[in-house]
Structure formats: structure tokens, C-alpha cells
A and B are shown apart, each in its own frame.
Chain A
Amino acid sequence: MRWLRLYLRSRHVPLALTLGAGAMVLLWSLWSISSNSPDAGAPMVILTVLILVAIAGITLAGPDEALERTAALPWWPRRAAHVLVALAAVVVLVLVTLATGARFGPAMLVVRDAAGLLGLAALGAATLGATRAWFAPLGWTLAAIVFPSVEGSAGEVVTWQTQVPGNGPAAVTAGTLAVAGLMVYALSGPVRPAPAEAAL
């Protein structure tokens, strides 16, 4: 238990949970106030998932990666578990709204986008560092939201975030990103930043 508490603290998990819950409440209130529709629009849902994934991204590295690697601990199961729990947290946080008057759904879309974007963020953390993990999810998703109507399978792959929940190519893309992110992050861990930038 003590190890877990220290681990969560070193990953800024309390901060991320607070930010995530705050962002969710804010976006939920925005939709409740501004719209009469009980179901949030797809762009709103996708952007919500994006923000929550960006927040989850800050937990993907500790203050001193080099020091942690010296520990005689098998890191890869822990890292994999971290990503999976983060995914569950994002999904649960969004899907809780299904029980309220402003529903952020459908569940399939939330799960697909959360998994794909979190995989992308994990890839970012493993290559650019946790403080830059949001680069690719943000750029890609904003572009897909602005230009959702690209036709053909290639178009559906490129704009996978905005496709309807049952779309095959989009689901495959999200799945690939999720698995790739999970594997790369679990096996290689976050990239070691320059010492001066180590802490958040």
C-alpha cells in the first residue's frame, strides 16, 4: 500500500484526478447550460475525451525516470497497469454522465476514442516525454473534428476519432494505436527528459 501511495503521488495522480474531474464537471455544465439536447454532440464528447486524455498524459512519468530504472522492480507490468487504469478512469469519468441529464456518449465512441488517444499519448510519452504527450492526440483530433468528412477507408482511418461508433477502419486504427501505445510505453517507459526539466 505504501508503495502504491508513493507511486501515485510521484505520478501526480491526485492532481490529474482533480483536474480531470474539474474538466468533466466544467464541460458537463457547459453542455447542460447551452443546449436543450440531453445527448452531448459528438464533437463535444470527442473534445472531452481529448482533454481527459491530455490530463491522463501528465501521469505517465515520474520526477526522476533514471533513478526509478535502477530499482530492482519489474516495471513493465506496472506501466501497463498504469495505462489500463488511466483508460478506465477516463472512460468511467465520461460515462458517469450517462446517468445524468446531459449524456456524453455513446459508450462505444468514448471507449474507442479514449483507447486510441491514450495509446497515442503513451506513444508520445515514450518518445517525446510526458509533458509533451498531448501533442499528437491534440493536433490529430482537432484536425479530424474540423474536417470530419473525408471519404473512403483511408479517410476513415485518418479521421478515426470522429467516425460513427460502429465504423470498422476507425476501430482498427484506434485499436492499433492503443495496443502500440500500451506495448511501447510498458516496455520502454517514458523517455528520460533533460535533468532541468525532470519535474512538472
Chain B
Amino acid sequence: MTRILGIEIRRSAALGTVLVLLVAGAILLYAAPQRWAAGWMALAMVQREYLVLLWPLALAAGAYQARREHRTHVAELFASTARPRAQRVIPVLGAMAIASVTAYLLVIAIGLPWIVDTADYLPARVFLVVAVGALAMIGGAWLGLAVGRLLPSVVTAPALAVAGLGFLMLLPVATKNRPWLTMALSPMYGMGQYTDYQTVGVKASLAQVIWLVALAVVGVVLLASGSWRSRVATLLPVVLGVALAVSVIPRDRFVANQTDKVAQELVCADGTPRVCISRIHAGLTPEIVPQARQALTTLAKLPDPPTAVHEDTTTYYPAWSPDPQPGVVLLDVHVDKYGHLAWPSRVVPDVVIAAMTPGRLCEDGSDYSASRAAAAYVLGVEPAGDWGQWGVVSDEPDPDVGTFLTALRKLPEQEALARVAALRRAAAECGDLRAALTGRTR
């Protein structure tokens, strides 16, 4: 059997399939490395999202391969052999499954060297996410084989690929905003990461496994069977698969936005003052900690200074943010496309600005100009245009910042620091930062 399988791999479209999927997958992966440079889960999930292209291509590869007997005019000859058809299709099923899974895993392997030295956190869930993707590829190739056998035309393969793409892209519309149903039926849905802590739920993965196994079974039965009765009977695994998958998957609004609490958990660096980074970003500790400590040292000249820096592990969908703690400054951590800390020169100003900014619980009261002016004074530098969070604040100099800063610098140091301290108190109380900084309130 192994020998036959080896021959089938060499003589079928398997090698070409691996090549095409590998090239397509590698181009997609490296077209946007910032999407998956943050860690292993990011890589696994992005690869799953790229099933939107790889799965239709697997369908097309299967359909193309299935035309072989028709193309070479041997269907009748093979039908006359004294072997059941089911036995004859096993090698080709095996070859196409091996090809599509190999290609899927190889694409991940291509992404591996890019992040291997920065990504630390490797949860077991990553392997589940990859396994579901590989299963989807097998199902796609086998379904393609079945359709290609039933409709042995040259245009079956491209038409099937277009239909597969249409299925994946239109499913969220067709299910009328029921994310759990879309997630159960589409192996690529909900794989775009909003935060680096995002993961895929075990129950959702289980539902996808059930549905994808059902699809694979349909492919095998359609390919192996000769009678219309057994072909019609493939409706059974379809219905059963949908029913089981739907019963397993949680009917949760956030089913596609699960947070990995372990990845989100803070890990504190050795030494003082305390600097804690989420586990998923723990590989960036050496890049963040010295700068965060430098910022804390700068802030130490204020009365009642902050004593620790924590990563801001807020997620917006679902909305969750860490409980505010006295003396703790929150810092946004972003990963660049090389897997390293994005905008490393901004860590110090970011921490100082965050120390001058009201907490998330304040409904309003945030005042960029006042916070930045105070931060610039404490740091003893000119405010830079790119100090804005996320890089979305405009680079144009803010005239208010300059006015506040000049006023602060004209004051004696004691008085100026007292005003910055007043601003920090106002920030803690959700008060008026501007009034505190200009000395109108004490």
C-alpha cells in the first residue's frame, strides 16, 4: 500500500498541489508579517484566516485531479478491474490529503523562523488551531475530488474554487449575523486577531472539527460510491454534521473573540521597580523593562510618584480592562512586523504621559495637551509630534502644549512640580487637568 501511495503521490497532482499552495500561502503570509509576528497563536490564526484562499485552491486541486481518468480515457478500463471502486480511490485520497496537509504545515514552517526568537508563549491550543486548519484542507481536497468526479469538465475546478471562495466570504452574510453559526461552518471565520491575546475556543474548534469531518466523509462517499442511492445518502452526514456542530458551539456573541486569559496574565520582571508584561509579550521584556524603569526614575521627583509599570491588557471586544491599582502606570505594548517592540523610543514618553492621564474609569477629563505638556516638563524635552498613542495623533505641533510648557518652565522648579502633582491628583479624581496645570485649582 505504501508503495502504491508513493506512486500515486508522484503521478497525481499532489506535488503540483503542494507547490501551488506553498507559493500562495507564503506570499499571503509575508505580504503582511505584522499580522502574525506577535506570537505562535497569531501565526496559527492568520494561517487559518488565509484558508479563504487555500481552501478554494484545495477544492480546485481535488477537482483537477479527479478528471485524470476521464482525461486519459481509462475510466472504462479501470471500471473493468476486479476491485471495488472504494479500494481503488484510497491511494488518490491519501495522496491528495498528504499533499494538502503538507502544504499547510510547510507554510507555517515558512513563517516559523521569522518569529522563533521573539515568540515565547506556546499554548497547546495553537496545535488545535493548526490541526483544524489541516483538517479543513483535507476536507477541501476530498470534496474537490468528489465534485470533479461527478462533473468531469475542464471548468469544474475553477468554478468550484470560485464557489468555495463565495461560500466562505458570503457565509457571514447568509447566516444573518449569527457569528456562532458562521464560526461552526467556516474554518476561516473569526480568525483575525483584534488583540494579541485572542484565541479560539475549544468548543468552537470541536464544532468545526465535527463539520469538517462530515465534509470529508461526504467527499469520500461521493468519490467511492457508484450508485445514486449512496450519493443521495451523503445528505445524512451533512445534516448530522451541521446539527452536531451547532449543538456543540456556544451561542455566545463573543464566540469568535475569545481571550486567552493565560496569555493576557501579567508576568513581572525581576528586580525593582516592578514592571509587568503580559505573558504573550514576555519575550519583549528586555526591550521594555529598562526603559519603563527609566521612566519611573524620571517620575520619582514628583510627590507620591507611580511605583510600577504594567502592560495595558485592555480588550475592547469583549470590553474588559484591568482593575486600576494605585501607583501603577499602564503601558500599551505593540509588536512590530519583526516581532520586536514597536516604537521602542516611545516607551519612556508613553509611560510618563500615561502617568499624567486620567484612568479609563473617568468618563471625560482627558486632555492631551495638558498631559503632554506636563510629561514634556518632567522629561525635560520638547514634545514630539509622534508621541500620540497608536501613531494616529497628528504630527502637527499642538500650540496648547507649547503654551503650557513655556508657562511651566518660567516657574521655579518647586512650583512647577507642585502643579504637575496637582495635575496628577486631578487626573486621579477625573478632574480638570488644564485648571490644575495653570494653577487655577490647588
Contacts and interface: CB of A to CB of B under 8 A. Distances in A.
Given A142-B53, A143-B28, A131 B159 contact: no
Contacts of A197: 71-72
A134 B158 contact: yes
B319 interface: no
Contact of A54 (B73, B159, B169): B159
A200 interface: yes
A166 B373 CA distance: 47
Contacts of A143: 24, 27-28, 53
B155 A134 contact: yes
Task: Choose among B20, B60, B71, B159 the residue with the greatest number of A CB atoms under 10 Å from its CB.
Answer: B159
A55 B52 contact: no
Contacts of A199: 73
Interface string A180-198: 0000000000000000110
A122 interface: no
B56 A51 contact: no
B253 to A, nearest CB: 26
B132 interface: no
A22 B20 CA distance: 29
Contact of B166 (A47, A131, A134): A47
A19 interface: yes
B115 interface: no
Nearest to A194: B72
Contact of B161 (A43, A57, A132, A138): A138
A47 B71 contact: no
A146 B162 contact: no
B37 interface: no
Contacts of A87: none
Contacts of B157: 134
Interface in A1-57: 19, 23, 43, 47, 50-51, 54-55, 57
Contacts of B158: 50-51, 54, 134, 137-138
A90 interface: no
Given A50-B162, A196-B72, A197-B72, A138 B60 contact: yes
Contacts of B71: 131, 197, 200
Nearest to B49: A146
Given A143-B24, A143-B27, A197-B71, A47 B162 contact: yes
A108 to B, nearest CB: 22
Chain A interface size range? 20 to 34
Given A47-B162, A50-B162, A200 B28 contact: no
A27 B353 CA distance: 56
Contact of A196 (B27, B56, B60, B73): B73
The CB with the most chain B CB atoms within 10 A, among A43, A134, A150, is that of: A134
B89 interface: no
Contacts of A57: 154
Contacts of B354: none
Contacts of A132: 64
Contacts of A138: 60, 158, 161-162
B191 to A, nearest CB: 13
B28 to A, nearest CB: 7
A146 B57 CA distance: 13
B239 to A, nearest CB: 23
Interface string B37-62: 00000000000000011001100100
B165 interface: yes
A142 B56 contact: yes
Interface in A98-123: none
A142 B161 CA distance: 9
B66 to A, nearest CB: 13
Given A54-B159, A134-B155, A138-B60, A146 B72 contact: no
Interface in A51-81: 51, 54-55, 57-58
A139 B24 contact: yes
B31 interface: yes
Contact of A142 (B27, B64, B73, B165): B165
B57 A200 contact: no
B31 A147 contact: yes
Contacts of A47: 162, 165-166
B134 to A, nearest CB: 20
Nearest to B153: A19
A19 B52 CA distance: 26
B155 A54 contact: yes
A58 B53 contact: no
Nearest to B164: A142
Nearest to B20: A139
Contacts of B60: 138
B31 A19 contact: no
Nearest to B27: A143
B162 A131 contact: no
A153 to B, nearest CB: 16
Nearest to A195: B72
Nearest 4 CB-CB pairings of A with B: A54-B158, A134-B158, A58-B154, A138-B158
19 contacts: A19-B153, A43-B169, A50-B158, A50-B162, A51-B155, A51-B158, A57-B154, A58-B155, A130-B154, A131-B71, A138-B60, A138-B162, A139-B57, A142-B165, A143-B24, A145-B165, A146-B52, A146-B53, A146-B169
Interface of B: 20, 24, 27-28, 31, 52-53, 56-57, 60, 64, 71-73, 153-155, 157-159, 161-162, 165-166, 169
Given A145-B165, A200-B71, 4 more contacts: A51-B155, A51-B159, A135-B20, A146-B169
